[in-house]
Structure 1
Amino acid sequence: MNEFLIKLEPEVTNDIQEGINWYNKQQQGLGPLFYVEVRTAFNSLKINPYYQIRYDKVRCLPIKKFPYMIHFTISEKENLIIIRGVFNTSDSPEKWKRNK
């Protein structure tokens, strides 16, 4: 089976940077660790993206070691995973639905 390609919606870069900035303020070195965990999760999605659908057609993958979830959809025709957001699990569900 071929790996899926990953496409980030424009806001996702900001989501990740906000997380990095917040964790850097909490403890030196924690921001880069957060980024590594996000990238690791992206890489695992390339191999197996079939996680539970949470709302609309959006699936979610929890990030290990951090209270964040990757929100994404799958285009099987294009062999593509579209990352819709990387949100803190305490964020409002309305924020999660920004990219329907």
Structure 2
Amino acid sequence: MAINDFKLQILSRAKLEVEEASQYYESKSKGLGKVFYLEFKSYSKTLKNIPFFEEKYNIVRILPLKKFPYTIHFTVDENEKLVSIQAVTSNYQDPNTTRIKL
């Protein structure tokens, strides 16, 4: 079931996490950071059309990336037709030691 026309909001924390991951992958191999960023953008577009992926933490839903070990954490406001990306985290991060980004 495709539901179109959701607005997409990316919180500053998530933007910073995407930037950090892109820089990390770019430092490992030239062009890999761009590949990561493009995959994130592609999945973000998917969320605008089909935002109802697995609900993981109360109202927070998740969407894992396919090529990279990262997961997009987001909420959906059906009344406002808004998808809000809260965080983009590495599947290898310990949530107890990950620093909070503003």
Normalising by structure 2, what TM-score? 0.88
Measured in 2, the distance between the counterparts of 1:94 and 1:4 equals: 32
Instruction: Say if 1:11 and 1:95 are closer, same or farther in 2 by CA, change over 3 A.
Output: farther
| Offset of residue 64 of structure 1 | 1.9
Match for residue 11 of structure 1? 13
- Shift in CA distance, 92/68, structure 1 to aligned 2, threshold 3 Å: same
- Structure 1 residue aligned with 2:72: 70
Q: Which has the higher helix share?
A: 1
Alpha-carbon distance between aligned partners in 1 of 2:90 and 2:54, rounded to the nearest angstrom: 18
Shift of the 74–94 alpha-carbon distance from structure 1 to 2, 3 Å rule, reads farther
Query: Alpha carbon RMSD of aligned pairs, Å?
Result: 1.8
Residue 47 of structure 1 corresponds to 49
**Secondary structure of the residue that 1:35 maps to in structure 2?**
helix
Residue type at the aligned position of 2:58: D
Q: 1:15 to 1:63 in 2, by over 3 A?
A: same
Distance in 2 between residues matched to 1:12 and 1:24, nearest whole Å? 18
Matches of 2:73 and 2:14, distance apart in 1: 10
TM-score when normalising by structure 1: 0.90
Deviations 1:51-71 (A, max 9, x none): 111112100001120000000
Task: Note the alpha carbon deviations across 1:4-30, whole angstroms, 9 max, x for none.
Answer: 110011111110011001101110000
* Alignment equivalent of 1:89, drawn from 83, 88, 91: 91
Aligned to 1:37: 39
Question: Sequence identity of aligned pairs in percent?
Answer: 34
Q: Distance in 2 between matches of 1:5 and 1:55?
A: 22
Q: How many residues align?
A: 98
